[in-house]
Chains A and B, each alone.
Chain A
Amino acid sequence: MEALYLLIPLSVILVFVALWIFFRASDDGQFDDLVGPALRILQDDDNPRSDTK
């Protein structure tokens, strides 16, 4: 029971950390294209003749 007095404040901090991570990811363009990366992974880019980087 007493552990809750530590855990609840911790969970509040955790939520703020999650928000911070979300904002950083959003600023970096993580959510700008939610479809493309899933398609891109299917393409072979290790073909030696292709000039993809």
Chain B
Amino acid sequence: MPHTKPLNDAEAAPCYHCGQPLPAVVDHAAWTVNIAGAAHTMCCPGCAAVAQTIVDLGQESYYRDRTAYAASAEGAQQLPPELQLYDNADPRFALDEDSRESTFTVEGIRCAACVWLIEQRLARLPGVDSAQLNVATERLYVRWQQDRCQPGDILGALHTIGYSAYPYDVDRHADQQRRASKTLGRQLFVAGLSMMQVMMYVAPSYLAAGDGTLDSDMASLLRWASLLLTLPAILYSALPFWRGAWGGLRARTLGMDVPVALGIAAAFGASVIATFTGQGDVWFDSVTMFIFLLLCSRYLELRARRKAGAALERLQHALPASASLLENYPASSAATIVRAAALAVDNIIVIKAGEAVAADSVIIEGRTSLDLSLLSGESAPVPKNVGDAIPGGAINAGSMIIARVTRKAQDSTLSDLIKLINRAGGEKPRISLWADRVAAYFVAGLLLFALAAFGFWFWLDGSAVRAWPIAIAVLVVSCPCALSLATPTALAAATDQLLRQGVLVTGPQTLETLYRTTHIVLDKTGTLTWGRPVLQNIHELGAMRADFCLQVAATLEAGSAHPLARAIMNAAHEAGRENWSAATLTETAGCGLEGTVHNRRYRLGSAQFVAGIAGLPPPREHADGVTPVYLGVEGQWLACFHLHDGLRPDAQDTVDYFRKAGKTVVLVSGDDDVLARRVGDQLGIETTVGGYLPADKLNFVQQLQRRGCVVAMIGDGINDAAVLGAADVSFAMGSGAALAQAHADAVLLNGRLGAVADSARTAERTMQIIRQNLGWAMLYNVTAIPAAAIGLLNPWLSGVGMAASSAVVVLNALRLRRKT
């Protein structure tokens, strides 16, 4: 204990720097600064550090000239000086003019109760708009107003309740995780060793119990040996529980660690007294075993959390830290290594085979194939050519390419993705909030119950001989952790599993709502169909063979980005047709292209346009829903290409899955009724409506909702933003930049429609597991606590029960990560 100082004295001399009253306990030696020849006491190390800095800078005159005390930031008193360095001016935190946001790494999260505590504390901080903690990744996302709050305040608030936090940094985070699991491993080892040794010393007293063969000297020696060996477990291994309980009490909340810490303290305290006096029971074996088993379940939980965050972690590491910049391209191809964050738009970078793309860019030289598995879940490499956009984080699986940066590394597709996911993991579904609230009341009730049980047995026996172990057993046997862990572990595992399959879940309620869905509303264009035309067939109209027509058409279209042109080029590419070279290409917007190939002038485009050189009236032949593109040469029609928006291959399976699951599938399309109905009939969808504008779609969904239906909407993300927002749960087909704007609860990263059915399956299993977990936690507590209260369970058996019940919950949730 540092020197204490009477309170009235403290009132007389406030902190010399900030003018606040000195706390009752002042560490004079550390908090005193010598200013202009006189020693002055400060209220805290922060003020002392500031004052010392001022003195060291030779600015002592500040104290002589000042007219008021220095401004003091609330919460800064207890804040380590290095945390005060972060302020709103830091560009890392900028969101918009008034708001700042950041992701912090939080150290020392032990179980679900910590999450509740941290969020509650920050929500009370003035100026904080939102604070969400992702348990799986130990990351805290905070948004605050810059004129009312400083990052230092946030860190300080966390500091007062016993957590340290730092602005998120990948390397630092990984390092912290390693350290945390190493420390927990050591604590586990120490607890295990001391448990086994204590058991050896306790065994004789159990074996010789009652028959008097153990003489009292020997019994006393064994007790002292047990006491000594329990000390490392109490002082080192049980640290997480002491810290957790203390942090909770300081914030005036009852954490899950409180009953645990009380139980350990009560059992150990009673045993120590019994050892000194030589009377009564000792429970050193139970204490060490309890600590060991509880640490085991904590360790298991930590591992499960790490595993659940693994896919996310891989994403974080996917953006490389450096890039090879070509400064004098194309004059010189000498590359310099620069930090990826320093890349600016229009920089030219080179990406060698096997390297990751540092930022979103466009290929300007070379062709390759990219591994996009992290971004989209797509496992096969995707071929990319000059002019194609490549997302940051993709791995170059082919040969070296040179690319021009289009967006800075921190704005890249992958960064957007990571932001989305971080936010996703932070928000909590209703079921989880409910469990948290229940758990907080549960702990309070439990403490009262333990007290009541103690009181009852004490009154019955007139002594604490039986009452004490029973109270300990009640404290130890209860498992609020199982209650709080039940939902988050299951959801984290499910989200991770879905991300591996290319479904990015961003909404907190997604899985829960998807499970309750009654209506599946599908958009047609871009969702059930590819959303881009595919060449269906070629009608020869003249003397030229179809494949030559295709080759000519592809040659003409080579430079065009029009979707119809893409379709023709893809078809030619698939047919193995190499492009010839075209000369004097001219494009007439909305009509078509004209150009010379092998000295013949061709036109490709609409009937009217081609008729301009073919001369004859266009042959009318095309079915509904098919877009015709004509090819003609002077005086002659050559071919008609039929292009048509094809169904996705997994459309049928998806529709079938939901129909079998008893949900109503509805097709809503902006195309005309006949077209929509044809697709609907083909897939066997009962209700098909066409000709709907976005506003009509919105209306349709809202009408369904008014009738009490739970609607899941699947659309292509951009056109359907309003409907997606209105639906109870929504899926967007999306990739690239559109992701960030997507208002959907889940994004299908690989554009695979079948992933919706996968999500529904996962949602069903997740809800099942959450129900099992909650049910198990309830059942366990309802039977175990009364059993402990009536004296059926002794302390060691309670410890086993508690640890086992937590482990069951965590292991059950981990089943979700298995592939179905």
Residue positions of A touching B, CB distance < 8 A:
4-5, 8-9, 11-12, 15-16, 18-19, 22-23, 26, 31-32
Contacts and interface: CB of A to CB of B under 8 A. Distances in A.
A19 B228 CA distance: 13
A15 B222 contact: no
Chain A at the B interface: mostly helix, strand, loop or mixed?
A: helix
B229 A15 contact: yes
Contact of A4 (B193, B218, B232): B218
A8 B229 contact: no
A8 B186 contact: no
26 contacts: A4-B221, A5-B221, A8-B221, A8-B222, A8-B225, A9-B225, A11-B197, A12-B225, A12-B228, A12-B229, A15-B193, A15-B194, A15-B197, A15-B229, A18-B193, A19-B190, A19-B193, A19-B232, A22-B186, A22-B189, A23-B186, A26-B182, A26-B185, A31-B182, A31-B185, A32-B182
Given A8-B221, A15-B229, A31-B182, 4 more contacts: A12-B225, A22-B186, A22-B193, A23-B186
B454 interface: no
B201 interface: yes
Interface in B228-244: 228-229, 232
Contacts of B222: 8
Contacts of A23: 186
A10 B200 CA distance: 14
A15 B194 CA distance: 8
A26 B197 CA distance: 21
Is the contact region of chain B dominated by helix, strand, or loop, or is it mixed? helix
Interface in B180-207: 182, 185-186, 189-190, 193-194, 197, 200-201
Interface of B: 182, 185-186, 189-190, 193-194, 197, 200-201, 218, 221-222, 225, 228-229, 232
A18 B228 CA distance: 14
B221 A11 contact: no
Contacts of A16: 232
Contacts of A15: 193-194, 197, 229
A19 B196 CA distance: 13
Nearest to A4: B218
A26 B190 CA distance: 12
A6 B457 CA distance: 41
A20 B500 CA distance: 43
B78 to A, nearest CB: 30
Nearest to B198: A15
A8 B217 CA distance: 13
Nearest to A32: B182
Contacts of A32: 182
A5 B221 CA distance: 8
Nearest to B200: A11
A7 B222 CA distance: 11
Nearest to A18: B193
A28 B182 CA distance: 12
A9 B220 CA distance: 12
A32 B179 CA distance: 10
B30 to A, nearest CB: 29
Given A15-B229, A26-B186, A31-B185, A8 B193 contact: no
B201 A8 contact: yes
A11 to B, nearest CB: 7
A18 B229 CA distance: 12
A53 B201 CA distance: 49
